[in-house]
Amino acid sequence: MTSTDTNVSRRKLGKLGVAAATVAALGAVKAASTPARAQAPAITGKAPIKVGILHSLSGTMAISETPLKEVMVMLIEHQNAMGGLMGRKIEPVIVDPASNWPLFAEKARQLLSVDKCAAVFGCWTSVSRKSVLPVFEELNGILYYPVQYEGQECSRNVFYTGAAPNQQAIPAVDYLMKEIGVKRWVLEGTDYVYPRTTNQILEAYLHLKGFAPDDILINYTPFGFSDWQNEVAKIKQFGNAGKKTAVVSTINGDANVPFYKELGNQGIKATDIPVVAFSVGEQELAGLDARPLVGHMAAWNYFESVRTPENRAFIAEWHKFIGNPKRVVNDPMEAHYIGFNMWVKAVKKAETTDANAVIDAMIGVTAPNLSGDYAALMPNHHLTKPVLIGEIEPNGQFNIVSRTPGLIVAQEWSPYIEATKDLIGDWRAPMSCGAFNVVTGKCTGGGKKA
């Protein structure tokens, strides 16, 4: 089979997935059009259903992860106020892995084997997810992972409620090419798996689009990096070649604060060298004077500035829960909102919290997102998503300048990397495979179900 035939096969499989998602979403919309008004059922005296919350509350990632712990508590309290789940109270079990990647695995094992959590919502960085993945697969636990990531993974025990590269990174680069005319690229990231793998995909994609190696600058800095003067000077010099230059940022955690401050210190404006970030949202900007950053961008699947009734209700509930009308919301919080509601639906569908039954029941489940659409959980354990590009405003919010006309189905394996271009994940029987080769017709890995 030629490479062209392989791409057609992937597209056909993708279209089948879209069709399934569309049918499911239409059913969900129809059901939602006549909401029940019955009084919430009473919670029985049965043992509570424990749900793990595995987010850093200290260390370099606390700036991003603490709100995810808080929104999960809010969602659980809301569900309990509606009668819990199957007549049982949901009990959050909160741990702090403290931005320590090996500690994530230790805490995950505790949540599954000691606390007996039915599901775990957690992790931010891909290195933390990679750390816990063997634990969830060994103990057959369920992880809902709410953050954009690099793809190249498809585990039966993980539901990836954040974006894959084709739902964030690739559309962002396309926007910079088509709308801004970018000719030179700085791929600036924190030194770990997500930026390195994402930039590997982006570099291959840019070469495919005809960009020369000399027009792509790639650089990595450690977690918590703060001395940005020399690095920003390099970016400025790279952008002085007479070609429109942009920075594609996969800088993560609290290193973003001094990075953006140094951009302002060196007078780099969005009109000169725009930055589009994949890990900077409303929460990260809350600690900055955003005025020097106006016009720089972020690519996400949700912004607080989305104007829908669903979003207004969510923000109002958040402000009431947190007791502070100035606290912001962001994309990973929406991912937990979707993922938690899907888990509740799947448990009701399976009529049990048993992991195997819930994992199987999740496929095809739909839930409202906050942009006025329905997210569908696809056979590759990823969500359908819109892609939004937003420009930073003086108040730290985002002006949405671009949005895909429909929902995008995730590519869990990159078609731009030779080793993975023929792979798909499909956890439905009889395939039940996270890395199925559409050319050979064989499962090549990815945690095939026994």
Model confidence pTM above 0.85: yes
Instruction: Kindly state whether residue 126 falls inside one of the protein's structural domains.
Output: yes
Cα gap 388→10, rounded to integer Å? 24
> What is the DSSP secondary-structure string of 278-296?
SS--HHHHTTS--GGGTT-
Instruction: Kindly state whether residue 61 falls inside one of the protein's structural domains.
Output: yes
Instruction: Kindly state whether residue 371 falls inside one of the protein's structural domains.
Output: yes
**Number of separate domains in the chain:** 1
Structural domain range at position 358: 42-159+309-383
Would you give per-residue pLDDT tens digits along the chain (450 residues)? Answer: 333 333 334 434 443 444 444 444 444 443 443 344 446 677 777 899 999 999 999 998 998 999 999 999 999 999 999 999 999 999 999 999 999 999 999 999 999 999 999 999 999 999 999 999 999 999 999 999 999 999 999 999 999 999 999 999 999 999 999 999 999 999 999 999 999 999 999 999 999 999 999 999 999 999 999 999 999 999 999 999 999 999 999 998 888 889 999 998 999 999 999 999 998 899 888 877 888 889 999 999 999 999 999 999 999 999 999 999 999 999 999 999 999 999 999 999 999 999 999 999 999 999 999 999 999 999 999 999 999 999 999 999 999 999 998 999 999 999 999 999 999 999 999 999 999 999 999 999 755 444
Instruction: Kindly state whether residue 219 falls inside one of the protein's structural domains.
Output: no
Instruction: Kindly state whether residue 237 falls inside one of the protein's structural domains.
Output: no
Q: Which two tokens stand for residue 305?
A: 């500035």
Cα gap 189→203, rounded to integer Å? 13
**Which domain CATH number covers 76?**
3.40.50.2300
**CA geometry: angle at 124 spanning 257 and 81, to 5°?**
110
Closest to 137 in 3D by CA, of 434, 428, 436: 434
Spatial strand order of the sheet with 433-437 comes to 423-426, 433-437, 442-443
Instruction: Kindly state whether residue 164 falls inside one of the protein's structural domains.
Output: no
Instruction: Please state, in angstroms and as integers, the Cα–Cα distance from residue 176 to each residue in 77, 173, 188, 394, following that order.
Output: 41, 5, 15, 22
Q: Within 10 Å of residue 138's Cβ, how many Cβ atoms? A: 12
Instruction: Kindly state whether residue 75 falls inside one of the protein's structural domains.
Output: yes
Please give the DSSP secondary-structure letter assigned to residue 405: S
- The residue type found at 333 is M
Instruction: Please state, in angstroms and as integers, the Cα–Cα distance from residue 52 to each residue in 49, 119, 120, 255, following that order.
Output: 10, 6, 4, 28
- The residue type found at 240 is N
pLDDT reported for residue 310: 96
pLDDT reported for residue 39: 61
Instruction: Kindly state whether residue 235 falls inside one of the protein's structural domains.
Output: no
Closest to 61 in 3D by CA, of 147, 186, 135: 147
pLDDT reported for residue 445: 74
Pair 310, 368: CB distance under 8 Å: yes
Q: Scanning the structure block, which residue is given the tokens 């195997």?
A: 356
